């Protein structure tokens, strides 16, 4: 019954209230999930700190426990995993259907047991999300894979190092390949690898356990297989997507907000995009300050041309922040073309912003033209996924009047206690059932 109530939760927001104060960014969701999966590679205990207390992390812990590992919270943001007792190679289908990251168990299970039965993963419906790069990479490392049935049946009579070139720079495929390769004899060279901050964090975590990985931060990873990994302690890297979301909130409400716990280098591809939308940001070594009462003016390209904001694999602007950038653009003087290259459903949520008063032309599934500023008015809406839900929350905070955002669990999947943390900044937001 508790789960049913949680799924029925909604956020009620009274808008037009500037946010003021200091907020600390949480650990990276997309870094925490593969690192939890990687704990299956060692039979010694691992303690992970700065773990975001979110729904997706709880689901991954349930998956590990179902496989036989001892995985539990030992502090507010600390998790301990002892996978020495893991014995199953077939993750629970119902749990897998809840999160996309369940498929990250494939690499570790193959490396540990030589077999894996993987149900189709769940996750946000933001467009086609191919599993082909995962299957190709694992097959190149020696796995035999039957993908004709309702599950992916994988087996390997010993994985081995190989030269693997991914046909797209898929974050999760890179992570699966790395986890499968770190204990496979010989050298693995992984080309066109993703190099997002959370991929780097996974690689550095594995190195701390004894893995040999070179090329971290680049798109070519060289992995020399080792016989075993030991246990250890590791802090999850800060979520740069959450930092970008808070920058957008502060700018849209005219607030004065300082974000702590920031990794400066992770913000370098993000800050210029906000600056293009007229947002002035003061970037410190481990903080970001958004000054108050900013007038947002879109920076035209040379010759007065309409500027374009597009996303791409790191170090391009992250796709997960495209929804935030679109929403901020509704409050900036000028016109901007938003080009979402990676997911064909990412921009579908813009109809919610239009119902609030935004001037947005959705040209096709990948492009939207936004003209601002517009006066937003509170509406009743439903969150379709994590990032669209957060973008709608931004719009509600800036809008006149009351907004209700249903399916709050979608936002909870990626943002820890967001209503409590925003109330500490002065936001008028309540969670209701």
Kindly calculate the radius of gyration of the chain based on its CA atoms and give it in whole angstroms.
22
Q: Which pair of tokens denotes residue 146? A: 């039957």
Whole-angstrom CA distances from 83 to 64, 71, 116, 228 are 8, 8, 16, 13
CB-CB contact of 180 with 111 (8 Å): yes
CB-CB contact of 182 with 175 (8 Å): no
Please pick, among 9, 124, 310, 320, the residue that the annotation labels catalytic: 124
Angle between helices 386-398 and 240-253 (to 10 degrees): 20
| Parallel/antiparallel/unpaired status of strands 308-310 and 144-146 | unpaired
- CA 243/CA 25 separation, integer angstroms: 6
| Parallel/antiparallel/unpaired status of strands 20-24 and 367-372 | unpaired
Evaluated on CA atoms 382, 384, 386, 392, the torsion sign reads: negative
Is 124 one of the catalytic residues?
A: yes
Question: Token match 């540990």: residue?
Answer: 112
Helix (H) or strand (E) run with residue 289 in it:
strand 287-290
CA angle 178-181-187, nearest 5°?
Answer: 115
Q: Please report the DSSP string for 364-422 in residue order.
A: ETTEEEEEE----B--EEE--SHHHHHHHHHHHHHSBSEEEEE-HHHHHTTSTTHHHHH
Q: Is residue 4 packed enough to be buried (19+ CB in 10 Å), middle (13-18) or exposed (0-12)?
A: exposed
Four-CA torsion 313, 314, 320, 322, nearest 10 degrees: -80
Q: Is residue 96 packed enough to be buried (19+ CB in 10 Å), middle (13-18) or exposed (0-12)?
A: buried
| Parallel/antiparallel/unpaired status of strands 256-260 and 20-24 | parallel
- CA 238/CA 235 separation, integer angstroms: 9
Q: Which pair of tokens denotes residue 105? A: 């168990």
For 73, list phi and psi in degrees, rounded to 5: -75, 135
The residues annotated with a catalytic role in the active site are 124
């Amino acid at each position: 019954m508790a789960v049913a109530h949680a799924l029925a939760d909604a956020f009620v927001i009274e808008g037009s209230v500037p946010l003021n104060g200091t907020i600390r960014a949480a650990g990276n969701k997309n870094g925490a999930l593969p690192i939890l999966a990687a704990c299956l590679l060692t039979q010694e205990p691992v303690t992970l700190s700065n773990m975001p207390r979110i729904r997706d992390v709880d689901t991954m812990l349930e998956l590990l426990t179902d496989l036989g590992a001892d995985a539990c919270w030992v502090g507010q943001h600390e998790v301990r995993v002892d996978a020495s007792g893991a014995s199953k190679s077939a993750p629970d289908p119902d749990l897998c259907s809840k999160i996309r990251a369940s498929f990250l168990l494939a690499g570790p299970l193959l490396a540990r047991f030589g077999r894996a039965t993987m149900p189709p993963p769940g996750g946000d419906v933001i467009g086609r999300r191919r599993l082909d790069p995962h299957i190709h990479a694992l097959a190149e490392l020696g796995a035999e894979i039957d993908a004709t049935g309702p599950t992916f049946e994988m087996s390997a009579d010993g994985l081995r190092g190989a030269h693997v070139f991914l046909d797209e720079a898929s974050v999760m495929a890179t992570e699966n390949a790395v986890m499968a390769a770190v204990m496979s004899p010989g050298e693995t060279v992984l080309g066109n690898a993703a190099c997002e901050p959370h991929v780097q964090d996974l690689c550095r975590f594995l190195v701390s356990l004894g893995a040999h990985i070179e090329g971290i931060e680049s798109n070519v990873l060289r992995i020399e297989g080792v016989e075993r990994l030991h246990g250890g302690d590791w802090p999850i890297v800060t979520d740069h997507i959450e930092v970008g979301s808070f920058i957008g909130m502060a700018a849209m409400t005219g607030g004065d907000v300082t974000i702590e716990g920031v990794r400066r280098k992770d913000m370098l591809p993000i800050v210029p995009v906000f600056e293009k939308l007229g947002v002035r940001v003061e970037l410190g070594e481990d903080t970001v300050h958004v000054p108050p009462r900013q007038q947002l003016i879109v920076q035209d390209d040379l010759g007065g041309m309409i500027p374009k904001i597009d996303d791409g694999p790191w170090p391009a602007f992250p796709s997960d922040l495209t929804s935030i950038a679109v929403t901020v653009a509704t409050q900036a003087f000028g016109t901007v073309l938003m080009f979402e290259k990676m997911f064909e459903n990412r921009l579908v949520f813009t109809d919610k912003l239009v119902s609030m008063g935004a001037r947005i032309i959705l040209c096709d599934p990948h492009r939207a033209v936004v003209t601002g500023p517009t006066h937003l008015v509170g509406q009743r809406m439903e969150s379709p996924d994590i990032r669209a839900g957060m973008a709608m929350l931004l719009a509600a905070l800036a809008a006149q009047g009351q907004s209700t955002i249903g399916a709050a669990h979608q936002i909870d999947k990626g943002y820890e206690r967001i209503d409590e943390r925003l109330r500490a900044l002065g936001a008028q937001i309540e969670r209701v059932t």
